[in-house]
Structure 1
Amino acid sequence: MSAIRTIPGMSAIADSYDAFLVDQFGVLRDGREPYPGAAETLVRLKQAGKRVIILSNSGKRSAENDRRLAELGFEPGSWDWFLTSGEVAWQLLKWEGAAAEGKTRKCLLISRDGDLSPLKGLDLVRTESGEEADIVLLAGSEGDVHPLVHYEDLLRPAARRGVPCLCTNPDKLMLTRTGLAFGAGRIAERYEGLGGKVRWIGKPFPDIYDFALDFLGRPDPARVCAIGDSVEHDIAGAAAAGFGSVLVATGILEHQSEDERRRLFAEHAAMPDFILPQFLW
């Protein structure tokens, strides 16, 4: 980690980039509330003339996340777009539905808190049966409520039939009000283990970065910086896209040692350019 520069705040690097892709959970907020100073830091980035995309592995669509962040006290307009993996998947499914010429498909949706927004406006009919499903959509996890075996039992019939699965939240771990729990990415891994095929959408996979770059007008990737708390998702995804990156030492890495971080860098073949103790200006 000797080659990685630790910075006290975002003001130290703001002039080096034109656009910032900011993670939500672990950077702006934990499972309960915003981190102190995070809302102000977003405002300061916008005041500095920067383009800001909040880039999140959330299975919910962009508008739902916009609303939720504003309710938590973040200032609307301090980000240009809240781009979620759920939004990317919805757009892709919309396109696929049009290509299918109106043929209705049955979707086994796995989401959090009974959220049905991933299906709204799509030519998909919800089913709760893996035996009937034509497609599986993993939009969230209730790993703090149900054990992993609950999802295995639900998904096994679909996996045996070769039903395609979209995982719109690749995170293996998630922050909840009661602490860490397994995320939708862990459920997707089990679907693959059961013999199913998964299309992964979100960080660190390319679809979500293509959407972000299109929105930004295809800038030089070297002038874009990604900020997150996950080496596997935020830092590895930034490296593959050619972006700069900042690892924030809150969220899932808050209690990890320097040696544990080193092992993560080696495991995912990615190192951040900067380490930031907390998302502050």
Structure 2
Amino acid sequence: MSDNLDALPARYRLILCDLWGCVHDGFRLLPGADQRLRRWREEERRLLFVTNAPRSAATTRRQLDGLGLDRELYDGIVSAGEVGIAALKGRPVGFCGTAEDRVDLTAAGLELTDAGYAEIACAGLEWHETVADYAERLAEWRSSDVLLHCLNPDRVVIHGGRRVVCAGALADAYEAISGRTVWHGKPYPSTYDHALSLAGNPPKETVVAVGDGLKTDVLGAARYGLDCVYVSDGIHAGEPYPDDLTPGWRPIMTVEGL
């Protein structure tokens, strides 16, 4: 098969497309992204954005509005934040993330507390922070056997050309000291279950995932039994495809961008 999205077979009627690194970089739409989405719409394909953003779908939609993306170009949004919010509603939980994350999770119905919690919603780090800055807090959570819910499995993201550490890296560090962790988002099957449910549960052979994260987008698609288009000029730009990532399975095509 040609490594050209213009040649994407017509049998793929539903596209599960990643956002960060494929459609935008946190500051602006990536070159050609909106034209590609419009082309898919003209081909009468359905499009769901499936993102590891720790925010609600409503907030993610407003962010896309701010970047100038036409809502007519996509059918819906599935975020790791949405999956995590659904799992944590109904009880008080701790919080780790930015002030904006706190406002969003609270608005979405989570009861956040700063003391006496057995679980914590981890949406991420402040933009300038590193995992090392959390060593003391991780140790405190571990000593109290706090269950950490990771609302963004991404380890790093390219934010305006700069690599920024995400919640997934913090969850890795917590697991490294035997902390209990629940992951929400890609590559975990609950996210794909939710996406396909929103789309009316179409046959998997009519669905293709598109993304730039090897251990999230690509691995998630492979494990779930979906075909995948790998966007190579995103977070792993310049890196070869790891042969041991998906033995016996490869993306149907590799493209530099949309």
TM surpasses 0.5: yes
Q: Answer yes or no: is 1:126 the counterpart of 2:121.
A: no
In the TM superposition, residue 278 of structure 1 has moved relative to its aligned partner by 1.4
Distance 1:84 1:212, change over 3 A: same
Q: Which of the numbers 212, 220, 231 marks the counterpart of 2:195?
A: 212
What's the Cα RMSD here?
A: 1.8
Instruction: Indicate if the aligned counterparts of 1:222 and 1:243 stay in contact, CA closer than 8 A.
Output: yes
Deviation at 1:185, TM superposition (A): 0.5
Label 1:141 to 1:178 Cα distance change in 2 as closer, same or farther (>3 A).
farther
| Maintained 8 Å contact 1:53/1:83 | yes
Q: Does the Cα contact within 8 Å between 1:110 and 1:141 map onto a contact in 2? A: yes
Aligned counterparts, 1:77-88, within 5 A: 77-88=72-83
Quote the offset at 1:79 in angstroms: 0.7
Equivalent residue, structure 2, for 1:112: 98
Residue 197 of structure 1 and its aligned partner are, at CA, apart by 0.6
Distance 1:141 1:219 in 2: 36
Name structure 2 gaps, 5 residues minimum: none
Q: CA deviation at 1:93?
A: 2.1
For residues 246 and 151 of structure 2, the distance between their equivalents in structure 1, rounded to whole angstroms, comes to 20
SS at match of 2:209: strand
In structure 2, the residue matched to 1:138 is: 122
What SS does structure 1 have at the residue aligned with 2:72?
Answer: coil
Q: Judging changes above 3 Å, is the alpha-carbon distance between structure 1 residues 159 and 218 closer, same or farther for their aligned structure 2 residues?
A: same
Deviation of 1:249 after TM superposition, in Å, equals 1.8
Structure 1 pair 265–53 and aligned structure 2 pair: CA distance change class (3 A): farther
Match of 2:88 among 87, 93, 99: 93
Alpha-carbon separation, structure 1, partners of 2:50 and 2:163: 20
> Where does residue 276 of structure 1 map in the other structure?
255
Distance 1:108 1:151 in 2: 15
| 8 Å CA contact retained: 2:56, 2:108 | no
Letter aligned with residue 109 of structure 1 = F
Residue 112 of structure 1 deviates from its aligned partner by 3.3
2:245 corresponds in structure 1 to 267
Judge which range, 172-181 or 19-28, deviates more.
Answer: 172-181
Aligned-partner Cα distance in 2 for 1:49–1:178: 33
Deviation at 1:268, TM superposition (A): 4.7
Whether the 8 Å CA contact 2:84–2:151 is kept in 1: the answer is yes
Query: Which of the numbers 25, 29, 46 marks the counterpart of 1:51?
Result: 46
Q: How many residues align?
A: 256
TM-score by length of 1: 0.85
Give, in angstroms, the shift of residue 113 of structure 1.
5.0
Q: Structure 1: any 5+ residue segments left out of the alignment?
A: 98-103
Asked if structure 2 preserves the Cα contact closer than 8 Å seen for 1:231 and 1:268, the reply is: no
Q: Is the 8 A contact 1:236 1:271 kept in 2?
A: no
Distance in 2 between residues matched to 1:66 and 1:29, nearest whole Å: 13
Match of 1:25 in 2: 20
Q: 1:268 to 1:276 in 2, by over 3 A?
A: same
What is the TM-score of this pair, normalised by structure 2?
0.92
Q: How does 1:193-204 map to 2 (within 5 A)?
A: 193-204=176-187
Measure the CA separation in 2 of the matches of 1:112 and 1:268: 34
1:221-260 equivalence runs, <5 A: 221-256=204-239, 260=240
Distance 1:14 1:41 in 2: 15
Displaced runs of 4 or more, over 6 A: none
For residues 195-219 of structure 1, the C-alpha deviation after alignment (integer angstroms, 9 at most, x for no partner) is 2111111110111011001111111
- How far the C-alpha of 1:183 sits from its partner, in A, is 1.6
Amino acid at match of 2:71: P
Residue identity opposite 2:107 in structure 1: K
CA distance in 1, matches of 2:237, 2:99: 26
Q: Distance in 2 between matches of 1:278 and 1:29?
A: 11
What percent of counterpart residues are identical?
Answer: 27
| 1:83, distance to aligned residue in structure 2 (A) | 0.9
The partner residue of 2:146 within 135, 139, 163 is: 163
* CA apart distance, 1:123: 5.2
